[in-house]
Structure 1
Amino acid sequence: MKFFATCPKGLEPVLFDELQALNVDAPKQTLAGVYFSGGLEAAYRACLWSRVANRILLELQRCPAETADQLYQGVQQLKWLEHMRPEGTLTIDFTGQSEGINHSRFGAQKVKDAIVDQIRDETGRRPSVDRLKPDLRVNVHLQRGEATIAVDISGDSLHRRGYRLQSGSAPMKENLAAALLYRCGWPEKAAQGQALLDPMCGSGTLLIEGVLMAADIAPGLLRRDYGFTYWTQHNSSLWKSLVEEAQQRREAGLKVVSSRFEGFDADAKVLNIARDNARRAGVEGLIHLERRELSRLSHPATDAQGLVVTNPPYGERLGDEPTLFFLYQHLGERLKAEFAGWQAAVFTGNPELCRMMKLAADKTYKLYNGAIPSQLQIFNIRARQEAELAESEGLMEGQPDNREPAVADAAPVELSDGAQMLANRLRKNFKQLGKWARRQEITCYRLYDADLPEYSAAIDIYDDWVHVQEYQAPKSVDVVKAFARLQEIVAVLPSVLGVPAAHVVLKQRRRQQGSSQYEKQDQTAHFIDITEGGCRILVNLEDYLDTGLFLDHRPVRMQIQQEAKGKDFLNLFCYTATASLHAAQGGARSTTSIDMSATYLNWAKKNFALNGFSEARNHFIQEDCIRWLKAQKGEGYDLIFLDPPTFSNSKRMHDVLDVQRDHVELISLAMGLLRPEGKLIFSNNYRRFKIDPQLAERYRVVDITRKSIDLDFKRSSKIHQCFEISAL
């Protein structure tokens, strides 16, 4: 019989070695799998013992299939009553396409029809379709006009061992975990009694797979059903004998395991999941699981050698990267301090992060975690090892529009000459801007904005908190050097400004698209109550891309407060509606705030409630501003603030917004709602923005950009552009 064992991309060499060890005939490696031949026993052993394969397919026939009719006739050449009962159930897995078959669902339908029609014609009975637990799973792959028809004797994917009913976030599949352990040489290490430790173990998959290998436990023993269970050619006595042999090997293996298995994680909930998984796998007595932070990672006193293997987080969310720099750096420090003589293996979808560990990888394997290109990096830990990483020259530059958060708690670092220069510049700015801010009764202001190009960040004061926004370095800047400078920025701030280190919050600024500016990035829910122009405003330095208050618009908000008395005020693209709050504080007759984000509108309502303003005269509308403007008729507002984003293709919006392209339409629509003596204040933060000359032919347009920028933003004179627009 001819078989094909499938596996994830990148694991083909590991599967080949594994099948060779199972003594199958003529294994041949190819893309996404390995061909082999043999009798049913070879296929059964592969189902029971393969730790890497996804499926074992028994090839029945190959036939031409350029057209649907050819496919139908080819399938009917097989005798399907040799594989299933007339009243049985089946499902079809179909992949590939040809000139006449361009959809997998259509191909699967033709295969199903051919099988059902044949059995109905011969017996008068008709099999039915069961996609979940069929008696027969037929696999058809169409390539270059030829269909390969096979029976899937594995059934459900073999990576589903049966022990993992729950998992943590971003779980690793069991067969990928096994492949990583093979690549690390774990079976040989386990035979020597070495230890296995995962410092961020999550739901315990790596540890459980490690125990199954060490104890010679077949990964398929826990599965109840296979694809061959109801296949009419299934040899139940042969399968039973193989299972009994595997059970005997399991019992013998558990008695002689000498390795120690330890798993740590900071999340108590996910550790409970790991314990349940280990219990279902029958290995809970061999794995020590403990809630422990990475900072407490230490060498097990009783183990001279072993393997530290882990799959750390590598940035599923916006805003993860700055925090992960610290995590990987700390992991490297703990490995060098505690695990000399051990081997360490890190599997990550962001290999650049591994450079933060300052360990030279002895081996690197390119693999995939689902669709994510990833790497397994293997390190031999030597005493006091420091990898010499080449640092490319270059300065951090660029100033994208939006921000993404991560709370930083950096370890102390020795300050370089550059960091001393940074500290001096911060002291100078703090002295000068601090005096100005106190005179103006301003408690939140920009202290530093990439004054020194090597330290490219914006640093803002929020009362006794410091908000650091690192500008994303271009790809030409070495990531390790950029991170070192970032550490120095964070390190000098507490002493220079006299604030606790815990009050320094770090974010990285990079361009965002779509709805990313509205997504919550963290779960601290830590709001700070600050004051501006007599208004109390809630800001959140940690959870969102922005803090809830654009500091550069402070003069505009104060102007609105001064001019709003007795007026109906409209705030388009209102964000957290701080401009509306200032209008209400200034005595506006009414305020209307429009934004498509419910999150920010709810934030705005909290701001109003904090200041004692009810919603009776202050209205909040969740809507696409362009669509809302087009639906309005007649004049209704005395003062309008229009501050659109530079670009947005959010799914919440009816259409794509480009402020340079669309500003004429936006302004015209807003002016249609303005009363004759009213004023529109139009602002945007697109640095290359050019206002269309045709607007000056229709309205009175005054550029007020210079007076709308306070002293703390003079270095960033292009932070926004601002215009007053009124009727001629």
Structure 2
Amino acid sequence: MDKENLEFFASCLSGLESPLAEELKRLGIKRVRPLGGGVAFYCDVRRALEACLWSRLASRIMLVVGRVDARMADLLFDDVLDIPWEDVIAPGASIAVSAHGSNDELRNTRFTALKVKDAVCDRLREVRGLRPDVDTENPDAAIDVRIRDKRATVSLDLSGASLYRRAYLAPDDGAEAPLECALAAGLLAIAGWDEIAHAGASLVDPTCGDGSVVVEAASVACDLAPGLTRDRWGFFGWARFDEHVWDDLLAEADERFERGLAGAAVEGTIDDPGSARPNLDVVRFAGASTSSPAIARARGRAKRAGLRQAVSIEAFGAEGVVGLVERVGAAAARAGERSGHEAPVGFVASVLGARERSSEASAQADASAFVAAAAAAPAGSTFAEAGGAAVEARFGAPPHVRVVLGRDRVAVEALVFATPPIKATSVTVPDPAGGAEHRVEVLEPASEQFAARLFKVAKERRKWARREGVENYRVYDADLLDYAVAVDVYAGAGDAAGTAFLHVAEYAPPASVDPAKAQRRFDDVLAIAPVALGVRPDHVFAKTRRRDKGGSQYRDAGSRSYVTHIDEGGYLLEVDFSGYLDTGIFLDHRITRQLVGSKAAGKRFLNLFAYTGTATVHAAGGGAVETTTVDLSQTYLDWARRNMEANGFDGPEHSFERADVMAWITECRRKPLRYDLIFADPPTFSNSKAMGKRTWDVQRDHVELLIGASRLLTEGGEIVFSCNLRSFKPDVDALARYGVVLENITAQTIPHDFERNPRIHQCYLARRP
């Protein structure tokens, strides 16, 4: 392992992958990649220790030690034995191994853990002359093994216990307490609290429960590292742990907390620093409750966190909340005047644990669902908790908040005042699994028609998909004029197997449509779609498409990445539902890719304008003896390489070329390189800076492209050419003059789920007679 570029994985609650990735970037970690259930990243030892100390959103941080063969127990043992454990496990450190996942040969996780433990011990005995002690309860070094299909990832847990178990929790706090901390941190991250807090904002939680939200909010504002007072870490058993670096990080964190706590204070005097009830006029973070035990627990957490001078937990009913808001709001105003920022008062209310949970596992699942729903829920519902009516009466309008409805609980979150929401109505949505009907709040009564249409089409489409073995497909494509969106269903694969995703793209409305009304309709689509299709709200990804002048190149508002995998025809393909406008695969080309695969056996294949290389994967899987993948974007070329490697196509016979396609063809014609099968799916228009002064226009430039590509064909070779310009007209005569013959195969390449839009693309076979 490169000492300066180690690989790590930070796990987190589902729905927090993107906020966690942003948190790691703020810590100075540059190579960050969100995945399902966590974030992969690369950094040196110091940054890794810093992430353990400062991350509020990660559950655990794992050092990836190696990936090994898990087809058989003996192969697993041999590969683990070959890992240089002397560079991973500190001398004298005790170890323990835990295993997760299984396959046909390794079905028992205890057996898997035992084989790995034996391999580690044998390696260390061979190198050091002494086997490490095994301590299954409190090991110095905890080794984690996760099997997926025929491979296993072996990691060292640098965290030890979960990072969600904050130091301010009491020893007798139950198993759900760390999840409450995670929920609070996630809720605040989703709401952008870090930026708001450092502008001098105050926060009031009128239904604070055990105080997790208030304490986490104050911790952020006061720059308190979550792991500052933690006394046991998994990296203590890491061979590369540097005690001097760790001491420096702790000293820096101490100084930052001192400065942060001083900066969070407002002008005034606390009557008695040792009192359980600070003066509210000088407190920026407050919670209210009617439960004496809850108040005691919340105050205890604030005290153990070292935040009692900034946090107050009080006994208030509905009317008392207004006084609490006003007093803390005044403190925020004074802090804002001093800092030069406008300092709003934020409200946060959340009901956590509104029902009895049977196990820590179910609590974890509920927590993930809560965070996911909070991330996806649109603003615009009225604050319905006890203090809401009183706040509305005092300030003339309700706070603008999010209401998250879970299966067995209601959770309410809010931050910062805004305009009163539009009064909502509700529509009936059938349950896709045949259960009881759902009532979904919407902003437009006409959205009931959209709900009915979506459910009807989805029912037919599911039957078709099962019959045809299709897992990723379009279920709705602007079927109703007023609801101009495309809704695509994806089925996760690999680590995401069994998980459904929705990708919702809004086509920008014409100027004649009221933008506010269009936004309300789109919000209704996002509320209805997950219910009608049975998909978790955190797995719904929404984007807006806007046409640029002169073509169908689109702009997107931009978002954080959400990377996972899907299966198409037995191939594992990477998709990003959130980082780009498109996901990394064009579903309307499903049949086209199958066509490429069926023609590729024994042939040399060339993919031009390759995008993420999905056609190359099909060609390699179809038996191509060589593949060449060409694209101007290094990002997409790397993506294509990952797609190929994920399917075992990583040999020297598969090459990847970053180049302007037209220039590359010109250069290639001077060489003896020739191909039996070429796939070209160019964009409609491109003015990429990497092309210099040139631009690309498929209508203008397709003749030059096809003539040039045809000169790279072997005798009897052919080109599969497609484009998505609806008005495209091939210049058959010009091509014929250069010996290129086109056959229009568009009709046979349009899948059933795109039949409503037969001009979604055009497809041709090009040959030289």
TM-score, with length taken from structure 2: 0.47
Structure of higher CA gyration radius: 1
* TM-score, structure 1 normalization: 0.49
